[in-house]
Structure 1
Amino acid sequence: MSGKFPRTQPAAWRPELCDASEKAPNFCGINELVRDSASFQNSTQVKKHSLGFIGAGKLAGSVIRGLLLKNFCEPGAIVASEPNTETRTRLQNELGISFATANTEVVEKAEIVFLGVKPQMVLPVLRELGGTFADKLAVSFAAGIRIAQMEAVTPARIMRVLTNTPSAIGHAASAFAGGSRTTDQDREKIRAMFSAIGLAVQVDDEQMDAVTALAGSGPAFVYAMIEALARGGVKMGLTKQSALRLAAQTALGASDLMITSEKSPDDLIKMVVTPGGTTAAGLRVLDERGIADAIADAVKAATERGQEMARENK
């Protein structure tokens, strides 16, 4: 859109494009990228404690919740280590997963080990565990730590997954990348797992900083936009509760329509706009304030920060 929002006559409304029961439209190949988790569940039995999490904080906890919500595995298939007592107690009580007393126990029990620690702790944890990771698949959630950096300090097969907190409700946007030791089966297992809790796409490791900015940080940018919409509603007389609910539902509906439609964002905007109408007036203000460029610049800034983190952790 070149930083501008179109203000032209809306295109003809075609309701059949939004009826998922009549056809399975494919916006930007999304339907081809979303895979059913059955491919992993049917071909590889999910054994007790086959999934391990070193660190079970906000992001890792969201992934665990999503996997259980979507019945990808049973609570007994997950073992985790987490230093925060409050977090351990909450997840044990709410989800029924088990916790190990040491990271080595997680690696010993799990077939796939997810690293949910802070970026600056990824390499130290891998070094600490050393040879215990031999013949294991280790998957890092961390921003800014390259696969090559991790492969240099561990014998594990390394992958990266960048995902986001909506994974907790099965609406994650995830990207995964494999390393020099990962197998096709490794990649398909990870694709199946993260397709079970949302959208999963395969990218190159070099693209992960952009994924971190767009999908990882993206929910915060969307929340900021929702809050701004609601604040505008409050200024115009709505209660805060009503404004927030309306703004959030509007964002949800618009996103769902785009995903299930064959139309581009430009086309969908045109469907809402009437020349000289209310939407056109609002979009004109967004253009004048450079909102579209500001959002794109936010993604750029977050991407560049990820690149800086990679250099800092060499």
Structure 2
Amino acid sequence: MIRGLLLSKVFGRDEIIASQPVPELAEELRRDTGITVVAGNAEVVRAGAIIFIGVKPGVVLPVIEETAGDLNGKLVVSLAAGIRLEAMEAKASARFMRVMTNTPSAIGRGATAVAPGSRSTREDVSRVLEMFNRIGAAVEAEERHIDAVTALAGSGPAFVYTVIEALARGAEAEGMPHDVALTLATQTALGAAQLAAESGASPDELRRMVITPGGTTAAGLAAMEKLKTSEGLMAAVQAAAARGREMATS
């Protein structure tokens, strides 16, 4: 996310400070991004106007407890799956929000949902939405939908990569060289996604534009239907969402 914010010029390098207690990782982050990296969370919280918590879910509440005094009254954005706003708001008097984004945000192509907490203001929501719209597409969502967002947007890139890989392997099975197959599969997914985003047509309408009755696309789609490909992708999203709910109660 830091790389996306820098790439899109949302913030300059001198406007971001991050904490990383592992010296080797801190040096790597400093070298790769040019931002200020310190060892402790307290220094970041005291210096920052907007605090992003980007740690593993099990560490979120301890980090908030550790810095609660300095967090009070500040806008705090949690990027972690599974940790509810109510739990965070019980630890500090900050204006908490939850944001779920994904790895393509690093190149300005992220998919992000923003869920406001009970203390966050409409100005807070607008500010965070504007920020994440600069590194992709961002929408406001109710917190009860965040587990589904985590599954669709957060885990979704892995599902898409699996589809790209499978398309390439299918072409390889027909004798195509690996690098050629992967290039064509990746560009096909990229172009199809861009057309879906910009055309205003539904996925079903776009799919019908490609199909000729009795043709190659129809044969391929019939094979996908036989193997229940759509059901498998739906099940992947639902399983990921269920895991997010489990994490919230563990």
Taking structure 2 as the reference length, the TM-score comes to 0.98
Tell me which amino acid in the other structure corresponds to 2:218: A
CA distance in 2, matches of 1:215, 1:68: 21
Q: Which amino acid aligns with 2:46?
A: E
Q: Shift in Å at residue 297 of structure 1?
A: 0.8
The structure that is helix-richer by fraction is 2
Q: List gaps (5 residues or longer) in structure 1.
A: 1-62
- Matches of 2:167 and 2:120 in 1, distance apart? 44
Instruction: Decide whether aligned partners of structure 1 residues 238 and 84 sit closer, same or farther in structure 2, where only a CA change above 3 A counts.
Output: farther
Aligned to 2:60: 122
Of residues 129, 134, 143, the one that matches 2:81 is: 143
Q: Which has the higher contact order (CA 8 A, sep 6+)?
A: 1
* Correspondences of 1:29-178 after superposition (within 5 Å): 63-178=1-116
Amino acid at match of 1:80: A
- Percent sequence identity is 52
Question: Which residue is 1:297 aligned to?
Answer: 235
Report whether the alignment pairs 1:238 with 2:176: yes
What is the rounded CA distance, in whole Å, between the counterparts of 2:37 and 2:123 in structure 1?
Answer: 27
Moved >3 Å (runs of 4+): none
Secondary structure at 1:276 match in 2: coil
Whether the 8 Å CA contact 2:96–2:120 is kept in 1: the answer is yes
Aligned-residue offset at 1:165: 0.4
Partner of 2:248: 310
CA shift at 1:259, angstroms? 0.5
Match of 1:199 in 2: 137
Distance in structure 2 (CA, Å) of the matches to 1:89 and 1:251: 35
Any conservation in 1 of the 2:21–2:39 contact (CA below 8 Å)? no
CA distance in 2, matches of 1:160, 1:84: 26
CA displacement 1:255-288 (0-9 Å, x = unmatched): 0000001211011000111111111111000000
What is the CA-CA distance between 1:89 and the residue it aligns to? 1.6
- 1:281 is aligned, of 216, 219, 223, to 219
Question: What displacement does 1:86 show?
Answer: 3.2
Aligned to 2:165: 227
SS of residue paired to 2:52: strand
What is the CA distance between 1:231 and its match in structure 2?
0.6
CA–CA distance in 2 between the matches of 1:135 and 1:103? 17
Checking the alignment, whether the CA contact within 8 Å between 2:21 and 2:38 is kept in structure 1 is: no
